[in-house]
Amino acid sequence: MAKRATKPKDAEVIVPIEGATNSVSFEQTKEMLTEIAEQVTQIRVSDSTTLSIANQKMTFVNGHLKEIEAKRKELKQPFLDGGKLVDDTAKELSSVLDPALKHLKSEVGNWQIEVLRQERELQQKALEEARKKEDEAKAVAEQSRVVNYISQVKDWLEKGLASCATIEHGQSMLASMAGLQPKEMMGDYQLEYGSLVEMYQKLFRTKLGELEGKIAKGTTQNHIEVLGGQLNDHIDSLKEQIEVKKQEVSAVESEILSEVASLQEDKASNVAFLWKFDVVSPENVPQMFMSIDEKKIREWMGNNKENLKDGETIYGVKFYKEVSVRTK
């Protein structure tokens, strides 16, 4: 760490003192100035004579202050010139690379904006797909419920028909079928469900005919072999369609998540989005965001000082006079 510069205690004084013919040390100069300060601080202005003395001493003290300031500038100027040379050299070298850095920042920033745009687009797409998927999932769930219900009804009717050995049993099954859910609750499968119920009603009536001796035995079994196989194939097909639909819904969700993850990987680690602002409607900006422009107040005061009254408040600003003593 660089050492901090100290005052030149034993170096030659930088300010010539009135009455001194040779250069003196810093401590000697400070001692002389201290003596002058102690002398003039004893002066009290009470009449024209003491006023004249005070003005003379004020000119005397001010002369020393100007000499100190002049010497300060003289001794400091070489350092300022050296510093300016260093600054100018660094600025010239930096000017070679600044455009390159600006270009790279622009490229990275533009790419990040594009990534963000794509990400938002995908998020919107994901939202829309999610809503669509939710609707499809509800539809698939309802279809699955319906198909499962139809399958359960079919199994119940199939077992009931297979175990039907009495007229009472057959009549009981027909009566129970009246309590099944109506086909209007089967959605897209109303036709299939209606055909199933209607088919088993006919099969049970045929079975009752056999039990009552009105129809030849074996007729019901023939109908079951023809119609039952077709029905089983149809229900199996419906279940397969529903399973495919579930997989499609799941695939859409996985695809969207994969695209979003890919965009996340493209994000530059050295890029940050900073909040900035532009004032587009100054008339709507609240007072809490305003600041006082003292430069404009001074400018207005200078232009209107002839008409101002001491202590007067205008536009919420108090204007007043303050004594200022100028030295010659």
Look at residue 184 and tell me if it is in a domain.
no
Lowest-confidence region among 44-53, 198-207, 231-240: 231-240
Any domain includes 83: yes
Residue 33 lies in a domain: yes
Classify residue 155: in a domain, yes or no: no
- Largest Cα separation within the chain, whole Å, is 156
Compute the distance between CA of residue 162 and CA of residue 180 in angstroms, rounded to an integer.
Answer: 19
The answer to whether residues 157 and 173 touch, using CB atoms and an 8 Å cutoff, is yes
What b/e string do you get for 128-150 counting C-beta neighbours within 10 Å, with b at 16 or more? Answer: ebeeebeebbeebeebbebbebb
Phi, psi of 314 (to 5 degrees): -130, 130
Decide if 217 is inside a domain.
no
In this prediction the pTM is 0.40
Q: Report the alpha-carbon distance of residue 310 to residue 103 in Å, rounded.
A: 57
Over residues 284-307, the pLDDT tens digits come to 888 888 888 999 999 999 999 888
Q: Determine the pLDDT at residue 270.
A: 53
Q: Would you say residue 35 has pLDDT above 50?
A: yes
What whole-number distance in Å separates Cα of residue 171 and Cα of residue 217?
18
Lowest mean pLDDT among 2-11, 213-222, 282-291: 2-11
For 156-198, write each residue's pLDDT tens digit: 888 888 888 888 988 898 888 888 888 888 887 788 778 878 8
19 CB burial (10 A radius; 0-12, 13-18, 19+):
exposed
- Give DSSP secondary structure letters for 9-20: TTSBPSS--TT-
CA 58, 61, 63, 65 torsion: positive or negative?
Answer: negative
CB atoms within 10 A of CB 170: 23
> Please, which residues have CB within 8 angstroms of residue 14's CB and are 6 or more apart in sequence?
29, 68, 71, 72, 75
Contact 25, 13 (CB under 8 A): yes
* Structural domain range at position 76: 26-105
Nearest one of 170, 225, 160, 158 to 196, comparing CA atoms: 158
67 within domain boundaries: yes
Q: Which residues are paired to 12 by β-bridges?
A: 25
The domain tally of the chain equals 1
> At CB < 8 A and 24+ separation, what contacts does 220-223 make?
220/161
Residue 215: what residue type? I
Cα–Cα distance between 41 and 34 in angstroms, integer? Answer: 11
The answer to whether residue 182 is domain-embedded is no
Does the structure show a pLDDT above 80 at 130?
A: no
282 within domain boundaries: no
